[in-house]
A and B are shown apart, each in its own frame.
Chain A
Amino acid sequence: MTESDFEPKIVGFLCNWCSYRAADLAGTARMKYEPNVRIIRVMCSGRVDPTFVLKALSLGADGVMLAGCHPGECHYIEQNYKTIRRFKMLKHTLRALGIEEERVRLQWASAGEGALLASAINEMVDQVRKLGPLHWSGNWMDDEGAQEAIQALPSEHAEAMEVPA
């Protein structure tokens, strides 16, 4: 894959009531937006565990979008405030691990804001495309020569033992 044809793969968590309906609305209105965000439906953005974001990134996603109802409009009254707090705590940690801001995004979109969601998706895809692939598992690929060094040890030990005590 060359740099020029990199297409980000982004996982989106959308809440059933507002943001998922916003995505539906974008569809009904035939708004065209980037196809890079693959959506998982949850009942509320409050269901989103930071584990989900970490798992998506570790599996190879280039970014994660969390979407929910605007604060004050949560269909479960106030659960999106917990989403805000968890998101901020998570970003604090992700920064320390060297993950760029644009890769994990919290986007509010009410059920009538199909255009807003589509444009947020376009913006995020564009930003992540410019950043390049995250390819997180590349961070722990075996060091070059590690397996050889390991395999060499039995013969090194055998050689060493030939030296009289």
Chain B
Amino acid sequence: MTDGGAPTTEKGKLALYWAASCGGCEIAVLGIDDKILKVAEAFDIVFWPCVMDGKVRDIEKMPDKSIDLCLFNGAIRTSEQEYMAQLLRQKSEVLVAFGSCAAEGCIPALANLNTREEIFQTAYHDTPSTDNPDGIRPQTETEVAEGILHLPMFYNTVKTLGQSVDVDYYLPGCPPEADRIWDAIVAILTGQLPAPGSVIGAQTTVCDTCPRTRNEKKIKEFKRTWEIIPDPETCLLEQGLVCCGIATRAGCEALCPTVGSPCIGCYGPNDGVVDFGARMMTALASVIDSQDPDEIDRIIQEGIPDPIGSFYRFGLANSLLRRKSLAGNGYSRMAETA
């Protein structure tokens, strides 16, 4: 592989796939602007459902490891998506979990606060605009005159790409910033990569690139974003806003805090951290300015009414606990005998 300049010998093969995602990562790839031409010079794009026609069958027929680079975005929440993850893993030399959904579950993973049953009940029965008097639900198999129709199985729990297959590299962000995407592509092309399984990204957190001034932290109240107009110079956390920049990997140049919006953590945890939410919980709790248990309860419950939304908005699937308990929803708690 060359450095992305003039093509020498044959082009590499590039695949991009989207699983449970919003499409933003596709658009982000286009965000590298004219550098996309360099990508087109270096690669043949063999598969990119968002942008061009193609058949999965063609991928299935390719030899293993014949796709040089696959950028896979989106979380895994159906059997089809898991299949595609396995297929592309088998066929790709380098599989990159591209973006927050693939890396840690992102917004789709917030569905882990519910079960499939709850989701279907809401989507197919309870929403006000649904007209479904016969209570029809999607089935994995439906017999029709022409034969059996198959739909993917919808999982109870959203998984990350890494929880489904072995991933070579992770590119965090929702979406990854254009510059970081380009950096990653260059790194892959030139072989300047960290150990397999690593994140291609910074080793520090957003505060490193945030222009605001920082002092010692002592928080008496947590404020919701609509409660105050923040001072433009001072650290947002010191002003009581729950800014996740303290725990979020750097890479975005602190875009949000720069304009007065507290970081929500879309780049995921810093290197080596196994649970993003735990870091947020411990850091915020440590600097609450109170020693009275009741006051502490009040500060926490009033200021952070939705702890999962505040601490696990992007990383629930990749967190240590991954989802809300299924127990009490018709699922047994008994351990299987070893």
Q: Which residues in A have some Cβ–Cβ distance to B below 8 Å?
A: 1, 3, 49-51, 54-55, 57-58, 60, 71, 78, 81-82, 84-86, 88-90, 92-93, 96-99, 132-136, 138-140, 143, 145-146, 149-150, 152-154, 156-158, 160-161
Tell which of A3, A96, A146 touches B79, judged by Cβ atoms closer than 8 Å: A146
Once the chains bind, are A82 and B326 in contact (CB under 8 Å)? no
Once the chains bind, are B140 and A149 in contact (CB under 8 Å)? yes
A152 nearest in chain B by CB position? B150
Q: How far is the CB of B323 from chain A (nearest CB, A)?
A: 6
**A85 in contact with B285 given A51-B320, A139-B323, A143-B153 (CB within 8 Å):** yes
Interface set, chain B 98-114, CB cutoff 8 A to A: 113
Contact segment of B80-88, B130-138, B173-181: B80-88
> Complex formed: what's the CA distance from A88 to B282 in Å?
10
Once the chains bind, are B291 and A81 in contact (CB under 8 Å)? yes
Once the chains bind, are B322 and A140 in contact (CB under 8 Å)? yes
Tell which of A50, A96, A97, A139 touches B278, judged by Cβ atoms closer than 8 Å: A50
> Complex formed: what's the CA distance from A49 to B281 in Å?
9
Interface contacts (Cβ under 8 Å), in number, total 147
Once the chains bind, are B333 and A133 in contact (CB under 8 Å)? yes
**A96 in contact with B320 given A49-B278, A88-B296 (CB within 8 Å):** no
Which residues from A are CB-within-8-Å of B56?
157
Once the chains bind, are A153 and B278 in contact (CB under 8 Å)? no
Once the chains bind, are A161 and B57 in contact (CB under 8 Å)? yes
Which residues from B are CB-within-8-Å of A132?
333-334
Tell which of B140, B301, B333 touches A134, judged by Cβ atoms closer than 8 Å: B333
SS of B interface (majority): mixed
Which residues from A are CB-within-8-Å of B325?
97-99, 136, 139
**A135 in contact with B334 given A97-B325, A161-B55 (CB within 8 Å):** yes
**A135 in contact with B333 given A71-B291, A140-B322 (CB within 8 Å):** yes
Once the chains bind, are B275 and A84 in contact (CB under 8 Å)? no
Which residues from B are CB-within-8-Å of A138?
326, 331-333, 335-336
**A51 in contact with B335 given A98-B325, A139-B323, A161-B57 (CB within 8 Å):** no
Q: Which residues in B have some Cβ–Cβ distance to A below 8 Å?
A: 55-57, 60, 79-80, 82-83, 86, 113, 116, 140, 150, 152-153, 155-157, 159, 274-275, 277-279, 281-282, 284-286, 288, 290-291, 293, 296-297, 300-301, 304, 306-308, 311, 319-328, 331-337
Q: How far is the CB of B297 from chain A (nearest CB, A)?
A: 6
In the complex, the 3 A-B pairs of residues with the closest C-beta atoms, listed nearest first: A98-B325, A149-B79, A54-B320
Q: List 5 A-B contacts (CB under 8 A).
A: A55-B274, A86-B285, A90-B285, A98-B328, A132-B333
Once the chains bind, are A97 and B324 in contact (CB under 8 Å)? yes
Tell which of A54, A92, A146 touches B307, judged by Cβ atoms closer than 8 Å: A92
Which residues from B are CB-within-8-Å of A81?
291
B319 nearest in chain A by CB position? A54
Q: Which of B277, B288, B321, B325 has the most chain A CB within a 10 Å cutoff?
A: B321
B155 nearest in chain A by CB position? A143
Once the chains bind, are A150 and B82 in contact (CB under 8 Å)? yes
Q: Which of B275, B296, B307, B311 has the most chain A CB within a 10 Å cutoff?
A: B307
Tell which of A49, A58, A99, A154 touches B60, judged by Cβ atoms closer than 8 Å: A154
Which residues from B are CB-within-8-Å of A161?
55, 57
Q: Which of A132, A150, A152 has the most chain B CB within a 10 Å cutoff?
A: A150
Once the chains bind, are B57 and A146 in contact (CB under 8 Å)? no
Once the chains bind, are A149 and B153 in contact (CB under 8 Å)? yes
Tell which of B279, B321, B324 touches A57, judged by Cβ atoms closer than 8 Å: B321
Once the chains bind, are A58 and B281 in contact (CB under 8 Å)? no
B147 nearest in chain A by CB position? A159
> Complex formed: what's the CA distance from A89 to B219 in Å?
14
Which residues from A are CB-within-8-Å of B79?
146, 149-150, 153
Q: How far is the CB of A138 from chain B (nearest CB, A)?
A: 7
Which residues from B are CB-within-8-Å of A149?
79, 140, 152-153
